[in-house]
Structure 1
């Protein structure tokens, strides 16, 4: 998935909706806001956890593993004040190989065309080079920005250090657009109402961009593959995840049940036994856990069948990356 081609039609369609809609139909008492907010930051700062908390539903997989989010996910928050279309981006990290470089490119490109940006920082950890890099990028673009100092429940020992980096860099760059700072916790919900209020302040007035019942326009196959991949992350942790990908081959939908056929890609034959597990136990456990979550998500009985396939160096293969939506 090339982000330039993927997101620009979305932004264009969104703007067309605004242009053709009649804002005059809204009275002063029913004026709504609607806009696109890019959620950015380095990896493992809690972006996906935050989005799930803001929406009250799971729209993005969560893990402590780098590269958990591999696609730009559009999550849609609709309430009386209006609608925010969040773009949950892959976390910026030190890239290794084509996959890592593509994910970083997706994240950096996401702010183009957005109405505002939400930068998430981990206030419990010392600032990284990637954190300062995001600050410099946002100052350059001068997009309205809210900065969440996340994980304050863990102490927030470095909150002031982040603010100082912004202040010093702004003076160096001559940046004049100040951010809105919010200190809170995505995990326990601290200050999320204040964060939501700040985000709505940043977007323009206008009619809803999507029907109010839509939570995400993320393709079903990609969502299912993410759920399956998350179950492997939960079990394997740092043992294998970067070498693992899921491709949903088919979804057979009937009123009684969905049958999902998916392939688990690994890079070497030695990894195949790891994802299958002794006597197939890990594979069966992942299938069961994925079925359980997907059934809750889609409200229909679901059967998942997984096959493990060795694709040598798939992270360097452009055509496989493109097929998986990573290029």
Structure 2
């Protein structure tokens, strides 16, 4: 991924911001908008973000490192439990917490849980009510819930509230101003010419997985995993061998599609997006493999970065 950034000079601010919240509230869309570049995959499917992704914004005010975390949800199986654990632990050792809520829907149990968590945190907390473009506004319900939990826990935490639309960009400039105002002064944490330290193999795998999610929707995604086996980086073209893992033989046909149309579409769309990211042509070799109950296999989860 390439993008021009203002070189850091003199004094400025630098800090790590954990972006947390339940699934499908728009965390990854928000991160991508703040950076002006796609670093996190996006879909309406629960568990789209499965790894902790560091997105790095460098500008004249300083540098901010966003931790885009998996969304907390009602976990089923080891994969879901591991993702929830990773999300909850992401707030440790950061300079600020950005809790993203879906302002267009009423509070859910996971939102209650995050309120209780940040009640006992000592770092600055910003609460962003996202999806303001949808018209429906539950800000009063969220603020009433916060005040109830704050009183119950006798907390002194005073979060900053913001209303935004990550999709439309509404309120995002003000949110960024607020975030910069709550991180400490200091030198940059990363070189100023990178957008993320996310491993290349995992990023390529995520792009491929996102394309499957867009076509399969709720039919299969949780049983689907992508692993990049090898990358042959030639000057004009990168050839990438990719394993597409499913749990049962009956799922292979779904992933491949009638006459191979689905997997061909996924390959073409992923190659196009990766070319835009890296500025080099891609040839993806997608191999569908059956790994029975991979979501319960610790070693496979560890290889994929989920354990």
TM-score range with shorter-chain normalisation?
over 0.9
* 1:200 alignment counterpart: 180
In 2, Cα distance between the equivalents of 1:126 and 1:55?
28
Q: What aligned pairs does 1:191-270 form with structure 2 within 5 A after superposition?
A: 191-270=171-250
1:121: Cα distance to partner?
A: 0.2
User: Which residue in 2 is equivalent to 1:121?
Assistant: 101
After superposition, what is the alpha-carbon deviation per residue over 1:270-323, rounded to whole angstroms, capped at 9, x for unaligned? 000000001111111111100000011000011001000000000000010001
| TM-score after normalising by structure 2 | 0.96
Match of 1:271 among 227, 251, 255: 251
Aligned to 1:109, which of 76, 80, 89? 89
Flag as ranges the 4+ runs of structure 1 deviating above 6 A: none
Q: For residues 227-273 of structure 1, give each alpha carbon's deviation from its aligned partner in whole angstroms, at most 9, with x where no partner exists.
A: 00000001000000000000100000010110000000000000000
Q: Distance in 1 between matches of 2:121 and 2:164?
A: 25
What RMSD in Å do the two structures reach over aligned CA positions? 0.8
Alpha-carbon displacement from aligned partner over 1:171-211 (angstroms, at most 9, x marks no partner): 11111120010011000000001100111111100011111
Query: What is the rounded CA distance, in whole Å, between the counterparts of 2:67 and 2:216 in structure 1?
Result: 27
* Structure-2 residue corresponding to 1:96: 76
Distance 2:107 2:157 in 1: 22
The correspondence of residues 16-165 of structure 1 with structure 2, limited to 5 A, is 30-165=10-145
Taking the aligned partners of 1:72 and 1:288, their CA distance within structure 2 comes to 27
SS in 2 for 1:140: coil
Q: CA offsets, 1:1-25, max 9 Å, x none?
A: xxxxxxxxxxxxxxxxxxxxxxxxx
Deviation at 1:31, TM superposition (A): 2.3
Residues in 2 aligned to 1:154 and 1:260: alpha-carbon distance in whole angstroms: 40
Verify the 8 A CA contact 2:104 2:132 in the aligned structure 1. yes
Shift of 1:140: 1.4
Whole-Å Cα distance in 2 between the matches of residues 94 and 143 of structure 1? Answer: 27
1:7-22, aligned counterparts within 5 Å? none
Unpaired runs of 5+ in structure 2? Answer: 1-8
Structure 2: distance between partners of 1:136 and 1:177: 11
1:10 aligned partner: none
CA distance in 2, matches of 1:234, 1:50: 19
Aligned length: 299
Q: 2:206 & 2:199 partners in 1: Cα distance?
A: 11
Structure 2 Cα separation of the partners of residues 133 and 143 of structure 1: 18
What are the ranges of 5 or more consecutive residues in structure 1 without an aligned counterpart?
1-25
Q: Does 1:280 align with 2:256?
A: no
> Which piece of structure 1 moves more, 211-220 or 155-164?
155-164
Under a length normalisation based on structure 1, what TM-score does the superposition of the two structures give? 0.90
Q: What's the secondary structure of 1:262's corresponding residue?
A: strand
Query: In the alignment, which residue of structure 1 is the partner of 2:6?
Result: none
1:196 alignment partner, SS class = helix
Aligned residue number for residue 292 of structure 2: 312
Alpha-carbon offset, residue 167 of structure 1 = 1.2
Q: Secondary structure at the match of 2:119?
A: helix
Partner residue, 2:269: 289
> Structure 2 CA distance, aligned partners of 1:156 and 1:278?
40
Instruction: Give the number of the structure whose residues are more often helix, by fraction.
Output: 1
